[in-house]
Amino acid sequence: MNVDGTPFRSIWLNEDGWSVGIIDQTKLPHVFELTDLKTLEDAARAIEVMQVRGAPLIGATAAYGICLAMREDASDDALDAACARLARTRPTAINLNWAIDEMLGTLRNRPRDERLEAAYARAAEICDEDVETNRMIGVHGHDIIKTHADAKDGGRVNVLTHCNAGWLATVDWGTALSPIFQAHEASIDVHVWVDETRPRNQGAALTAWELNHHGVPHTIIVDNAGGHLMQHGEVDLCITGTDRTAANGDVANKIGTYLKALAAHDNGVPFYVALPSSTIDWTITDGVRDIPIEQRDATEVTRMNGRLADGTVVEVDIASPGSPAGNYAFDVTPARLVNGLITEKGVAEASSEGLLKLFPERASD
Ligand code: MRU
């Protein structure tokens, strides 16, 4: 997507042909800063400290992390160590494991001297596939938004989203935001309620930044405002992303998503989840029970960063000093609260039958 007229992806290969460029998302929305990944450790740290984040982008970064590791040592041991290091970075988003498996499948049985070139080629493919997949999610999701616009005789369609599932969370287009960008491009009057998404504020900092730079009407709301807006008919539909979707249609996403789905259910507001098929974990049949939920540092809850009037970015304490804090990063929304899963292949009912109808090749898993 464009940043001030310049097209950007969220990750790219630099002109030197080996180092990897990213947007440092910890600096947004205050500073748009690019940084380079030059080693496996740079890639792993970028995922851990959330310079890159969002399930698909985590996967793409891991793929390039393996390329950077292969530059230094293309042995079996180095390959295994690189995969193990990357797999430990974040536990919930399954695209990480998916991308590592894809890279292993490409490299494992290859002679050592072919591995480096093959790794860069597969990482580039993973990125290009992600862009096309997300574009298609947008095509299918656009049709849902259009149906709402038609039902309102072209009136404004209000979509609520949580966290950031835009182009910054993927290689391009985004998942939940792709339908919104495409509806906006098609001149549908679409407005987005952006949940701020505590504790790291991915909604207020990233989703709002993306929509702002693309000219899509939007309003930032506190995380607890959604239920009130739904009760008063101010939300036509919700679309969120997901970090891992179980084979039964349960979806893990940023903490707070479940409460939005409950409020949507209570108010008859359709709740959709947008995802590339690389986010489906076919080995898990009960997401609420089995999807691992990341717990992050308590300081993300007790501290916040912001920009002062003079432009300096500072971090401040916001909680009672010494009080303990819990930082559960994700929750799982049961399939029964999800009206549809918007994938690159079309919209599936959130159930094992619904998913298998779109992905029959997974029936034997
Ligand atoms: O902890 P984050 O910022 O990586 O979490 C991101 C989300 O929860 C997104 O909504 C998710 O990855 C959806 S995929 C684009």
- pLDDT at residue 364 greater than cutoff 80: no
10 Å Cβ neighbour count for 16?
A: 8
51 in the same domain as 16:
yes
Indicate the residue among 82, 108, 128 that finishes a domain: 128
- Ligand 1 contact via 245 beta carbon (within 6 Å): no
Residues 248 and 186 in one domain: yes
Residues 59 and 94 reside in one and the same domain: yes
Please tell me the residue having the least CA distance from ligand 1 atom 12: 54
Structural domains of the chain, count? 2
Q: Are residues 212 and 328 in the same domain?
A: yes
Q: Are residues 99 and 192 in the same domain?
A: no
Pocket flag, ligand 1, residue 175 (CB < 6 Å): yes
* Ligand 1 atom at shortest distance from the alpha carbon of 330: 8
Report the nearest atom of ligand 1 relative to the CA of 275. 14
Cβ of residue 202 lying under 6 Å from some atom of ligand 1: yes
Query: For position 105, which CATH number holds?
Result: 1.20.120.420
Q: Is residue 304 part of a domain?
A: yes
Round the CA-based radius of gyration of the chain to a whole number and report it. 20
Pair 176, 220 in one domain: yes
Q: Is residue 58 part of a domain?
A: yes
User: Is 133 within the bounds of a domain?
Assistant: no
Hey, CA dihedral for 145, 150, 154, 155, is it positive or negative? negative
Could you tell me if residue 262 is inside a domain? yes
| 141 close to ligand 1 (CB < 6 Angstrom) | no
Residue 213 lies in a domain: yes
Whether residue 192 sits in one domain with residue 110 = no
Q: Match 């500073």 to its residue by tokens.
A: 31
Of 104, 128, 152, the residue at which a domain comes to its end is: 128
Domain stops at, among 101, 128, 155: 128
How close is the Cα of 156 to the center of ligand 1, in Å?
27
| Residue 91 DSSP one-character state | S
**The tokens 């989703």 sit on which residue?**
207
Question: Does ligand 1 lie within 6 Å of residue 241's CB atom?
Answer: yes
* Residue 191 near residue 218 (C-beta atoms within 8 A): yes
d(CA 311, CA 313): 6
Q: How much distance in Å is there from the Cα of 310 to the middle of ligand 1? A: 31
* Alpha-carbon gap, residue 190 to 149, rounded angstroms: 8
- State which of 53, 209, 238, 245 you would mutate to test the pocket of ligand 1, scoring each by most atoms of that ligand within 8 A of its C-beta: 53
pLDDT at 72: 97
Ranges 1-10, 38-47, 222-231: which has the least confidence: 1-10
Kindly state the average pLDDT of the residues 107-125. Answer: 97
User: 290 CA to middle of ligand 1, Å?
Assistant: 18
Q: What is the pLDDT of residues 140-152, one digit of tens each?
A: 999 999 999 999 9
Q: Are the C-beta atoms of residues 163 and 241 closer than 8 Å to each other?
A: yes
Same domain as 324, residue 184? yes
Give residue-wise pLDDT tens across range 318-340: 999 999 999 999 999 999 999 99
**Closest-lying ligand 1 atom to the alpha carbon of residue 175:** 15
55 pocket-lining for ligand 1 (C-beta < 6 Å):
yes
Given a contact cutoff of 8 angstroms between Cβ atoms, the answer to whether 325 and 301 are in contact is yes
Distance 184 CA to ligand 1 centre (A): 22
Shortest-distance Cα residue to atom 5 of ligand 1 = 54
Residue 350 forms part of a structural domain = yes
60 pocket-lining for ligand 1 (C-beta < 6 Å): no
Stated as kind and residue range, the H or E segment containing 300 is: helix 299-302
Whether the CB of 243 sits within 6 Å of ligand 1: yes
Are 218 and 181 within 8 A, CB to CB? no
* C-alpha span between 154 and 106 (Å, rounded): 48
- Nearest CA-CA partner of 78 in 37, 46, 119, 45: 119
Rounded average pLDDT over 126-131:
98
Q: Are residues 97 and 150 in the same domain?
A: no
Q: Considering only CA atoms, which residue is closest to atom 8 of ligand 1?
A: 254
Contact 107, 65 (CB under 8 A): no
Which pLDDT band, with edges at 50, 70 and 90, does 2 fall under? confident
76-109 pLDDT per residue, tens: 999 999 999 999 999 999 999 999 999 999 999 9
Which pLDDT value is given to residue 5? 82
Regarding the beta carbon of 54 and ligand 1, being less than 6 Å apart is answered: yes
CB 140 within 8 A of CB 176: no
Return d(Cα 176, Cα 161) in angstroms, integer: 8
For residue 57, name the pLDDT band (cuts at 50, 70, 90).
very high
The minimum-distance atom of ligand 1 relative to the CA of 279 is 14
218 occurs within a structural domain: yes
Q: Which of 243, 250, 281, 331 is catalytic?
A: 243
172 and 275 fall within a common domain: yes
pLDDT at 25 over 90: yes
Banded model confidence at residue 3, pLDDT cuts 50, 70, 90: confident
Same domain, 208 and 309: yes
Confidence at residue 211, expressed as pLDDT on a 0 to 100 scale? 96
Could you tell me what percent of the chain has a pLDDT over 90? 97
Tokens 């076919």 belong to residue: 282
Residue type, 142: H
Considering the entire predicted model, what is its pTM? 0.96
- How far apart are the CA of 128 and the centre of ligand 1, in A? 20
- Domain of 43, in residue numbers: 2-128
For 235-279, the pLDDT digits (tens) are 999 999 999 999 999 999 999 999 999 999 999 999 999 999 999
Residue 24 falls in the annotated catalytic set? no
The b/e string for 197-217 (b: 16+ C-beta within 10 A; e otherwise) is: bbbbbbbbbbbbbbbebbebe
Name the pLDDT band for 219 (thresholds 50, 70, 90).
Answer: very high
Is the distance from CB of 350 to CB of 249 less than 8 angstroms?
yes
Q: Please give the angle made by the CA atoms of 126, 8 and 170, to the nearest 5 degrees.
A: 40
What's the CATH code of the domain at 297?
Answer: 3.40.50.10470
Q: Does pLDDT of 292 surpass 90?
A: yes
Among candidates 177, 103, 96, which has minimal Cα distance to 135?
Answer: 177
Token code pair at residue 34: 């690019």
Q: Is residue 121 part of a domain?
A: yes
Residues 29 and 113 placed together within one structural domain of the fold: yes
